[in-house]
């Protein structure tokens, strides 16, 4: 017996010594490699140890949100916002205790004005049905206020699209396809879809990259597709087309988009056939005639004079050429991949651009004809209510629904290494995204956005959500006191 134990100890000792020897050889190799390269000064001056800098730098993205950032500090979404979404999606208690961690004296802080006689439950009325594209052959009627913004199949995974599609059906909201075209996974849930036509016109493009009328007719034949959105620009990268790295362009995605497998899918920074207000309106009319369905466009507002000219031309040409909706994306919108200079510095925030468009619509008496969809970091009831007060008819969110799917804000969307399985085509990572579980979370999140909107509206003494207006809001000014929201824009 002791012989066997002795032999076992000898074997284990030899294995241990072997691994120690291998580790020692690896360290020697790393030392020699570091001292014989001149690309990284840290590694040269501090061989082996200097390599940990890159490890810590990479892991810092993950640990910062858990250990170092305060509840309201982190960007682009802080812990308090994400936690609310997670709780709503999981259908668990969303109340907090003791006191708010929000800085209520910070300039720009939004405060809703409660009424001394809040609306009683028996006085509450259901939000009305809104019609988009009343003049179209197939107008779109919906009661949904909060909807799912564009996320292309390609930028996000098959199980993510399936969960969103089925979740949207349960919630009764719409799902925007994103510029990557419509897949079977979008259609699988049976929800209402908005087909986004990007600058590359994926799914409806001809050999020259222009709009193919026959393909457009085929797409429009799907009953699930209720509207078409021409994507002019988006918040995270105005002036730059969509970017899908080649490692995420699978055979299936390439077939849907009509592009080569494994090569970067980079859309033009603008539509070749839409280079003026006249051409934009012509394209809207063309798509309406082919599909019979409502057509609008999505843009980031920078210079705003063209919006004035757009509405003036609509009044001159006639209302039939008008877009049925305009989606306004703020400069703080999100994406799977974008150049940092554009993401950080280009475009106006929604708090400035949304009132500009709303005021101009009122100026030209077009507000009833052209609906406004607001987008850009609107993931909580208070943010959605604020957008409605500024004139939005609908609100859409992509990243809010990504949180509902389980996104942890790992900032890996462009690397095909998303740990939650949402923004990756790695089959192993996708296994963690259970469609049956996540579709219900998507529906729960939408439900509690609307529930939260109701709480705010009824506290303000209103009978239904869409009655929220600028009159119900004040904003903290530079002197620390609040000022009426409408006066801020006078």
Contacts of 339 (CB under 8 A, 6+ apart): 237, 240
Do 42 and 150 sit in the same domain of this protein?
no
- Residue 92 falls within a domain, yes or no? no
How far is the C-alpha of 114 from the C-alpha of 400, rounded, in Å?
26
Mean pLDDT of all residues in 350-375: 95
Q: What percent of the chain has pLDDT over 70?
A: 90
Among residues 375, 400, 390, which one has the least CA distance to residue 452? 400
Domain count, the chain: 2
Q: For 5-43, what is each residue's pLDDT tens digit?
A: 666 667 677 787 888 888 889 889 988 988 888 666 567
Phi/psi of residue 315, nearest 5 degrees: -65, -30
Q: What is the pLDDT of residue 250?
A: 83
- Residue 311 falls within a domain, yes or no? yes
Q: For 65-99, what is each residue's pLDDT tens digit?
A: 555 555 556 667 777 888 889 899 999 888 877 77
- Residue 83 falls within a domain, yes or no? no
Do 134 and 7 sit in the same domain of this protein?
no
Six token digits for residue 33? 């490699």
Do 34 and 141 sit in the same domain of this protein?
no
Tell me the pTM.
0.86
The DSSP secondary structure of 333-399, one letter per residue, reads ---SS--HHHHHHSS--HHHHHHHHHHHHHHTT-TTTSEEEEESS--SHHHHHHHHHTT-SEEEESH
- Residue 135 falls within a domain, yes or no? yes
Q: 10 is in which domain, residue-wise?
A: 2-49
Strand partners, 396: 147, 375
- Residue 199 falls within a domain, yes or no? yes
Contacts of 238 (CB under 8 A, 6+ apart): 300, 302, 331, 342, 346, 347
Among residues 442, 439, 443, 467, which one has the least CA distance to residue 453? 467
- Residue 99 falls within a domain, yes or no? no
Q: Is 170 exposed, middle or buried (0-12, 13-18, 19+ CB in 10 A)?
A: middle
How far is the C-alpha of 170 from the C-alpha of 191, rounded, in Å?
8
Query: How many residues in total does the chain contain?
Result: 490
- Residue 82 falls within a domain, yes or no? no
Do 42 and 129 sit in the same domain of this protein?
no
Residues 405/163, Cβ–Cβ less than 8 Å: yes
Q: What is the pLDDT of residue 27?
A: 87
pLDDT, the chain, mean: 87
- Residue 140 falls within a domain, yes or no? yes
Phi/psi of residue 398, nearest 5 degrees: -100, -55
Do 357 and 460 sit in the same domain of this protein?
yes
């Amino acid at each position: 017996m002791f012989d066997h134990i002795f032999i076992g100890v000898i074997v284990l000792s030899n294995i241990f010594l072997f691994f120690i020897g291998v580790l020692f050889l690896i360290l020697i190799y790393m030392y020699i490699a570091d001292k014989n390269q001149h690309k990284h000064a840290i590694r040269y001056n501090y061989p082996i140890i200097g390599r940990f800098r890159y490890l810590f730098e990479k892991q810092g993205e993950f640990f910062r949100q858990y250990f170092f950032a305060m509840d309201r500090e982190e960007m682009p979404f802080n812990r308090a916002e994400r936690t609310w979404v997670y709780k709503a999606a999981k259908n668990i208690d969303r109340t907090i205790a003791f006191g708010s961690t929000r800085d209520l004296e910070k300039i720009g802080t939004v405060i809703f004005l409660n009424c001394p006689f809040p609306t009683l439950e028996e006085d509450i009325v259901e939000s009305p049905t809104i019609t988009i594209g009343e003049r179209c052959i197939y107008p779109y009627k919906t009661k949904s206020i909060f909807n799912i913004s564009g996320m292309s199949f390609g930028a996000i995974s098959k199980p993510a699209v399936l969960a969103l599609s089925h979740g949207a059906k349960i919630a009764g909201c719409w799902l925007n396809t994103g510029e990557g075209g419509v897949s079977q996974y979008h259609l699988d849930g049976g929800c209402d879809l908005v087909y986004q036509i990007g600058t590359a016109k994926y799914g409806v493009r001809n050999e020259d990259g222009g709009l193919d009328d026959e393909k457009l007719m085929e797409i429009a034949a799907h009953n699930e597709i209720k509207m078409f959105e021409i994507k002019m620009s988006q918040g995270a990268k105005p002036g730059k087309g969509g970017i899908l790295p080649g490692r995420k362009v699978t055979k299936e995605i390439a077939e849907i988009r009509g592009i080569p497998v494994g090569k970067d899918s980079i859309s033009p920074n603008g539509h070749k056939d839409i280079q003026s207000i006249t051409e934009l309106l012509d394209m809207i009319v063309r798509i309406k005639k082919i599909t019979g369905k409502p057509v609008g466009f999505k843009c980031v507002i920078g210079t705003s004079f063209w919006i004035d000219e757009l509405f003036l031309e609509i009044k001159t040409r006639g209302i039939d050429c008008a877009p049925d909706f305009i989606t306004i994306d703020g400069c703080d919108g999100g994406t799977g991949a974008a150049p940092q200079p554009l993401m950080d510095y280009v475009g106006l925030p929604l708090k400035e651009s949304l009132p500009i468009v709303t005021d101009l619509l009122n100026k030209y008496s077009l507000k009833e004809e052209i609906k406004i969809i607001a987008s850009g970091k609107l993931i909580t009831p208070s943010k959605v209510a604020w957008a409605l007060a500024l004139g939005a008819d609908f609100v859409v969110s992509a990243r809010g629904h990504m949180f509902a799917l389980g996104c942890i804000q790992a900032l890996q969307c462009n690397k095909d290494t998303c740990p939650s399985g949402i923004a990756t085509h790695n089959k192993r990572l996708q296994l963690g995204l259970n469609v049956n579980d996540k579709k219900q979370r998507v529906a729960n999140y939408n439900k509690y956005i609307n529930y939260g909107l109701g709480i705010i509206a009824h506290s303000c003494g209103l009978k239904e959500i869409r009655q929220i207006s600028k009159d119900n809001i004040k904003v903290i000014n530079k002197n620390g006191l609040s000022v009426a929201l409408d006066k801020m824009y006078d």
